[in-house]
Amino acid sequence: MFPVLALLAAPVLMAQHGNTTQSNPHDSEQDRAAGAKLFATQCTGCHGKNGSGGSAAELTTGVFRYGYSDAGLFNSIASGIPGTAMPAFKLDARHTWQLVAYVRSLGEGRAAGKAKGNPARGAKVYASSGCQSCHSIGGQGGFAGPDLNAIGSTRSLGHLQRSLLAPNEEVSWDYWSLLGRTAAGERIAGLRLNEDTYSFQILDSQGKLRSVAKPDLAEHQIDRTSPMPSVEGKLKPDQFEDLVAYLASLRGAQQ
Ligand code: HEC
Ligand code: HEC
């Protein structure tokens, strides 16, 4: 990975990410209730009652391997998951978003209750570990990584721990990078914001948006490693528990 990515021009990244990580426009209590009804009729056959896991994946862990952004969940439902039994559901967009709202709610509140550490001490660990150069909480911080303002209400404890120790294990496609070389010999590197049949849209290390035509690339690869450094070996065990407890306590209240 290129460490320069951490220094990206924040406003550009935020604006562009809007395209690939649209957040759920139908996320009210009523939407969740409507989503729950749809889920009961369309999804429990495979995912079990309340997503507790039948023949298919359990949906209550707060971990979504096939895309954990709202847009990623929308895609899993609307397009299905190739190579698995998960079919595409051709519902209208509103109903699909309502399912996203409901599925998201299934993992809620799992983290906070079980954390062992001390959230107040964890806030200090967060502040002294450089996390805010990439993440924001309550509108403060950087944009190279996801906003953590409500991370405790959408993620399980296990997911938070794994995110800190092994960031490369689950990297949402929103954070994959393109590495390549053009036929003319120019090296290409940047965060892969979008991809279509003919081109990649990337954010390069100078924070500039550019489009790279696929036929111009002599070689390229998609790097799915996370720009986030692991905290493994950098924190004492009690500092780690405190940090996890702090993240688990973040439920969007600061906004
Ligand atoms: C025919 C069985 C079946 C039905 C019906 C079904 N699913 Fe799935 N679903 C699966 C399978 C299988 C997977 C992939 C599991 C895996 O590979 O871990 C999956 C995966 C998912 C995922 C991604 C989980 C992840 O880890 O990223 C979501 C979200 C999801 N389903 C939601 C739904 C919703 C919402 C419905 C109802 C509209 C639904 N599913 C109906 C079988 C089904
Ligand atoms: C160089 C930038 C960078 C730094 C520094 C950084 N992160 Fe991250 N972080 C990211 C990126 C990018 C992602 C999303 C990709 C991924 O899942 O690894 C991420 C993901 C996460 C996630 C998972 C988010 C989710 O939606 O599930 C958590 C939690 C997290 N970071 C916490 C932290 C904490 C706590 C620190 C400080 C110890 C930290 N990060 C430092 C860039 C960074």
For the chain, 255 residues long, the average pLDDT of each consecutive 10-residue run is 38 35 83 95 90 79 74 92 92 96 78 77 96 91 87 81 87 86 93 90 83 95 91 92 92 57
| Residues 17, 46 contacting (CB under 8 angstroms) | no
Residue 72's pLDDT is 85
Which residue lies with its CA nearest to atom 5 of ligand 2?
Answer: 131
Query: Ligand 1 mean position to 216 CA, how many Å?
Result: 37
Give pLDDT, residue 66: 81
- Rounded Cα distance, 133 and 185, in Å: 33
Residues ≥6 apart with Cβ < 8 Å to 56: 46, 47, 48, 85, 86
Measured in Å, residue 154 CA sits from the centre of ligand 1 at: 18
pLDDT of the residue at 112: 55
Q: Report pLDDT for 8.
A: 39
Given this model, what pLDDT does residue 50 score? 83
Pocket, ligand 1, Cβ cutoff 6 A: 39, 42-43, 45-47, 56-57, 59, 64-66, 73, 76-77, 81, 84-87, 89, 99, 103
Taking CA atoms, 193 is separated from 64, 76, 145, 159, 189, in Å, by 20, 18, 13, 24, 12
pLDDT at residue 214 in the model: 95
Q: What is the pLDDT of residue 113?
A: 60
pLDDT of 94: 96
Ligand 2 proximity of 136 Cβ (cutoff 6 Å)? no
Give the pLDDT score at 109. Answer: 56
Ligand nearest to the CA of 101: 1
What is the per-residue pLDDT for 100? 95
Q: Could you say which ligand is closest to the alpha carbon of residue 77?
A: 1
Ligand nearest to the CA of 102: 1
